[in-house]
Amino acid sequence: MSQTTAAERGARRRDAAAPDADGTFSHGQIVTILVGLMVAMFLAALDQTVVSTAIRTIADDLQGYDLQAWATTAFLITSTIATPLYGKLSDIYGPRPFYLFAIGIFVVGSVLCGMADSMYQLAAFRAVQGVGAGGLMALAFVIIGSIVPPRERSRYQGYFMAVFGSSSVLGPVIGGFFAGQGSLLGLEGWRWIFFINVPLGAIAFVTIWRVLHLPHERREHRIDWPGALALITFLVPLLVVAEQGRIWGWGSGRALACYAIGAVGFLLFMAAERAYRDDALLPLRLFRNRTFTVSGVGSVVMGAGMFGGLLLLPQYLQIVHGSSPTVAGLQMTPLVLGIMSGGIISGTTISRTGKYKTFPLVGVALMVIALLSLSFVVKADTSVWLMVPFMVMLGLGLGFNFQPVILAVQNAVSPREIGVATSSVTFFRQMGGTIGTAAFLSVLFTRLPTEVGGRIAETAAENPEAAGQAQQLAQGGMDGLLADTTRIAEFPLLVAPFREGFTATIDLVFLIAAGVVAIGFFVFLFLPQLKLSDKSGIQALQESEGAATDEGDAGEQAMHGAGAAAPTSTPPPVGRPGDDPTR
């Protein structure tokens, strides 16, 4: 009796969470599903900012400061590779099981990270965590695309911007707090950075399990395992050299070997995608869709450019202004508020007008102006308050780009391909971010010795006492100073020239980032402005399947009416809902 009652309760829950017969979800159902998605997205976004704040403390405690980059690289590799896999599998089987899997594996990886006893273990466990993280962000947008029509979808994007913004502010605060605790409940404080993911993950898992019941019809398919293996062969060497090339040397033997293996992997990936056609991990025919192609190229450019600001502003605040990671995170609040405001403004406007193309263009323009202004305004003694308007402007530009581009892609592809299209755009943005991070850090550390060394030499020439300190500093080498910038405090007369040299280098990187982002403006000029559909992915899919069934029935009746005569010509193919007419 009790088992039957439990089964009935489960059935009632599923019925209450399921859409109407026409695939429509109520506002209450959408908000309930959003709660679970937002907790999971917060989990992934918070983890990145928390760990980046505390990684130095973690590396010191595990006696592997020189190995810390591998913990970042391992997470980046697995999350980047997993993103398109999640998208393709969600199109085949539906997003619910894979979203639950992503949450579960992320929590398992978090627990393992909290138990790590060496940097090598931490890197391996961060790789496990990355497998889950690859699905948390991408599948959230896939699920929203399935339950909310494009015309109404933008009104909900403010929730996602709030998650992104709050995690950006809270991450450094939480990371700084736990990293600063020598011991908490008998464990090193930094371990709780990972253990805190367990209750958050449990809430997200239970919520999604209870409320996310999307109708999905499994179709015949081949799983593109050769494409997946080729993608790994292509990306892993390139991501490794992106993180380590600055240390190895971009033209070193190890770097050249990575380039060669990556090139072979790319050729194998293209061959696999051509062979698997519609079942491919990334169907090549999607690139015949102009909206998809423009959004993909634009996402690479924007991902590379935006990391110029997001990566270097906190470093400037910490190294030049002496802010702690926690304080620097709080000082970045204007940028976060700009991102949230940009998301809300673009979302409400798109819902009202149905026009989305303007926002990526305006967003790029704002980002270019902000980065250019920062490159000229930021000096060693610049007040943080003077930077606030430009941080807000940069945030607005990011907010105007983030969701409208995904919305455009989801609106332009078949409802059967929302998963792979959405995850592909996210994948391109991640790749751009990786390339941008590697390039900007390379410029930073290549230029820094020259700028800092030149200013220290000028100061030493004018001040004999400073010359003595410069000589002591030179004994440790410039590389030693760049590896541990806190050493400059031991030479008080050299602090000012060091900060001036660092600021001059940051200004150069901002200028380059502005040039990269500006390319995005010319890319997004080719983004088509299509009419936004008033049907969700589920509704469009049900409608297209119904139309195909009706056509099949009509054809069968016509055959019987004509005495089953053979057709004399092949009927034209039926266009997929949402296809880009500019193909």
Over residues 144-162, the pLDDT tens digits come to: 877 877 777 766 766 776 7
Check for a shared fold between 8-214 and 285-437+509-528.
Answer: yes
Q: What is the pLDDT of residue 567?
A: 40
How many alpha carbons lie under 13 Å from residue 256 in its C-beta half-sphere? 3
Domain boundary assignment for the chain? 8-214, 225-280, 285-437+509-528, 451-504
Taking 90 as the threshold, does the pLDDT of residue 362 lie above it? yes
What residue type is 327 in one-letter code? V
Residue 308 has pLDDT above 80, yes or no: no
For residue range 517-530, list pLDDT tens digits in order: 999 999 999 999 88
Q: Residue 184 — φ and ψ, nearest 5°?
A: -145, 115
Nearest to 296 by CA among 130, 431, 440, 148: 431
Confidence label for 539 from pLDDT (cuts 50, 70 and 90): low
Cα Rg of the chain, angstroms: 26
8-state DSSP, 580: -
Task: Tell me, letter by letter, the H, E, C secondary structure of 256-306.
Answer: HHHHHHHHHHHHHHHHHHHHHHHHCCCCHHHHHCHHHHHHHHHHHHHHHHH
Domain 285-437+509-528 class? mainly alpha
45 and 168 Cβ atoms separated by less than 8 Å: yes
- In this structure, how many other beta carbons lie within 10 angstroms of the beta carbon of residue 389? 14
Note the pLDDT of residue 470.
76
Distance between terminal CA atoms of the chain?
59
Helix (H, G, I), strand (E, B) or coil at 413: coil
pLDDT of residue 363: 92
Tell me if 405 sits within 8 A of 360, measured CB to CB: yes
Residue 576 has pLDDT above 50, yes or no: no
pLDDT value of residue 522: 92
Q: What are phi and psi of 578, to 5 degrees?
A: 85, 0
Q: What is the pLDDT of residue 568?
A: 39
- Structural tokens at position 413: 């592809």
Q: Give me the pLDDT at residue 39, please.
A: 82
Whole-number percent of the chain with pLDDT over 70: 79
What integer is the mean pLDDT of 484-504? 77
Answer whether residue 385 shows pLDDT above 50.
yes
Does position 486 have pLDDT exceeding 70, yes or no? no
pTM of the model: 0.77
Q: Of 38-42, 294-298, 328-332, 574-578, which has the strongest mean pLDDT?
A: 294-298
Helix (H, G, I), strand (E, B) or coil at 199: helix
Is residue 220 predicted with pLDDT exceeding 80?
A: no
Backbone angles phi, psi at 187, to 5 degrees: -125, 155
Q: Which residue has the higher pLDDT, 175 or 518?
A: 518
* C-alpha torsion sign, points 133, 134, 137, 140: negative
What is the structure's pLDDT at 518? 92
Domain 8-214 - what CATH class? mainly alpha
- Would the pLDDT of 274 be above 70? yes
Q: Decide which of 205 and 582 is more confident.
A: 205
pLDDT of 569 > 50? The answer is no
Exposed, middle or buried: residue 256 (CB in 10 Å: 0-12, 13-18, 19+)?
middle
Average pLDDT over residues 12-39: 67
Q: What is the rounded average pLDDT of the residues 537-554?
A: 58
Identify the pLDDT of residue 562: 43
Which comes out higher in pLDDT, residue 474 or 269?
269
Around 272, how many Cα atoms within 13 Å sit in the side-chain half-sphere?
22
Across the chain, what does the average pLDDT equal? 77
pLDDT at residue number 103? 93
Phi first, then psi: give them for residue 457, nearest 5 degrees.
-65, -40
Q: Which of 79, 176, 90, 199 is nearest to 141 (CA)?
A: 90
pLDDT at 40: 82
So what's the pLDDT on residue 571? 39
Q: What is the Cα 290 distance to its own chain's centre?
A: 22
pLDDT digits (tens, 9 = 90+) for 95-128: 888 999 999 999 999 999 988 888 888 888 998 9
